[in-house]
Amino acid sequence: MKKVTNMNLEEKILSSVDEDAKMLEDLEKDIWNHPQTGFHEDYAAGLLAGVLEKAGFRVQKRVASLPTAFMAEWGSGSPIIGVLGEYDALPGMSQQVNAEKQPVQDGAPGHACGHNLLGTAGVGAVLALKKAMETDGVAGTIRYYGCPAEETLIGKVFMARDGVFDDLDAAITWHPFYANTLWNSESMAMNSFKLNFHGVSAHAANAPHLGRSALDAVMLTECGVNFMREHMTTDARIHCVVTHGGEAPNIVPSYAQMWYYVRAPKRPQVEELYARLLKIAEGATLMTETTFDVDLIAGCYDFMPNQVMGQIINERMKQLGAPAFDEADLELAHQLKNTLPPEQVDGTLRTYRMDAEQLGDPLCDRVLDAVGSFTQGEVTAGSTDVGDVSYIVPTGQFTTCCMPLAVAIHSWQSCASTGSSIGAKGMILAAKVLALTGLDLLTKPDVVAAAKQEFKKKTGGKGYVSPLPEGLKPPADD
């Protein structure tokens, strides 16, 4: 086996990503042009898996019985390093690459969270790692995980339940955002579930006494939840929509449904609030003489960042520096930022706890230490199924600049950004950071050992327990 010289390997890896940059940019734009929502990402999953299979990776499809999940592996033996990829779009977020709200197709999905970039950067990283490992005899295994349906927090949770991450030594991923920074904060654990209420229909005017309104049970449940909000931790969140409220005003609704998200900083807090909410629903059925049942759609853990891995990622980001944006990028960024209300910009600056000049305006032109809500000890308001992976194996995560200052993900401005050269340049930086971090994990056993020791201390040596009830099946492939 050849002696491993990291500097030589680093140069090869960076050159490899640069050589593949045009291919990767074409790949992510192709996915952006063909957006599909969770478990329908046949186009994106097929493209990414096809590129890796052609490059010599062993590809396994329908991982964990999920129609658009796959795993691509190269190498053998330890350590086993996983790179997490995503590629699902958001419903109704179609948008052209310009600074006016103008969908490509009304009502169609769009990549307003940048998963076209997220999944493709991971492919670029493992391709570069494979080439370097082949030429320089680096031992170990690299795996790319094609993870569907992140937006509904389902994909990685079902994959985790089936044990597909269990033998990893470490996992790395990233997310398109504004700042080039380490994701060193925790995220919210969450349950997503629907409550189905069943009553008795009747003519609302002629025979109301014969009816038992399922909609009344819905309304009473939400009333009770509103009272519960006064008596739960201030950093927890419960939000809901009524997905079915009846057919017509003159018919007592025999069926009604509401969809809840329950979020809290830690998994046990979610379980507690979930149990309390179900008691409220039961109380509503007693008051209305109706019944209810529960469809648990997903449950995920909070993200637990690994500090050892975070330090490696941060060092690599500082080594590489920010993306080099050109005048056209800056012009589009200014135009997109100008569509935002001033209070949104001010709120973003408060979140980062820095002014625009310190952050880079309108595009982040520097690498920042974990700032604001991304700082260690903070809890971001959102949720991600990366959290489940982080409770199975040491996991590191970062963000790069793929959109202008104050642009919110899940917005039309974000979709425009992730389809532009701004997003593409942030993606190439992400591919390089992932690849160099992967190199460190493959060639520095002391780093992996330290990351595992930290992980063991944080979890208390307790194994991962799936939040999904036994027997719950993934959504049908329709």
CA pair distance 13, 15, nearest whole angstrom: 5
pLDDT (0 to 100) of residue 3: 43
pLDDT (0 to 100) of residue 5: 52
| Sign of the dihedral defined by the CA atoms of residues 234, 262, 412, 368, in that order | positive
pLDDT (0 to 100) of residue 370: 76
Of these ranges, 312-321, 366-375, 464-473, the one predicted with the greatest mean pLDDT is 312-321
pLDDT (0 to 100) of residue 2: 40
pLDDT at 169 over 90: yes
Binning pLDDT at 50, 70 and 90, where does residue 478 land? very low
pLDDT (0 to 100) of residue 375: 81
CA pair distance 348, 323, nearest whole angstrom: 21
Contact present, 89 and 115 (Cβ < 8 Å): yes
Contact present, 148 and 71 (Cβ < 8 Å): no
Give the residue-averaged pLDDT of 62-89: 97
Cis peptide before 249 (omega within 30 of 0): no
Among candidates 248, 307, 236, which has minimal Cα distance to 274?
236
pLDDT at 295 over 80: yes
pLDDT tens sequence across 301-357? 999 999 999 999 999 999 999 999 999 999 999 999 999 999 999 999 998 899 999
Binning pLDDT at 50, 70 and 90, where does residue 1 land? very low
Give the residue-averaged pLDDT of 20-45: 98
Binning pLDDT at 50, 70 and 90, where does residue 471 land? confident
Residue 404's φ and ψ, nearest 5 degrees, are -70, 165
Q: Which fold has domain 189-300?
A: Alpha-Beta Plaits (3.30.70)
Cis peptide before 342 (omega within 30 of 0): no
Could you state, in order of their start, the residue ranges of all structural domains in the chain? Answer: 6-187+302-459, 189-300
pLDDT at 382 over 50: yes
Name the percent of the chain lying above pLDDT 70: 98
Among candidates 62, 209, 73, which has minimal Cα distance to 148?
62
Query: pTM of the predicted model, to two decimals?
Result: 0.93
310, burial (CB in 10 Å: exposed 0-12, middle 13-18, buried 19+)? buried
Among candidates 344, 440, 330, 329, which has minimal Cα distance to 394?
440
CA pair distance 437, 312, nearest whole angstrom: 7
pLDDT at 170 over 90: yes
pLDDT (0 to 100) of residue 7: 65
pLDDT at 6 over 90: no
Q: Which CATH number fits domain 6-187+302-459: 3.40.630.10, 3.40.950.10, 3.40.50.1100, 3.30.2310.20?
A: 3.40.630.10
How many Cα atoms sit within 13 Å of 426 on the Cβ side?
A: 34
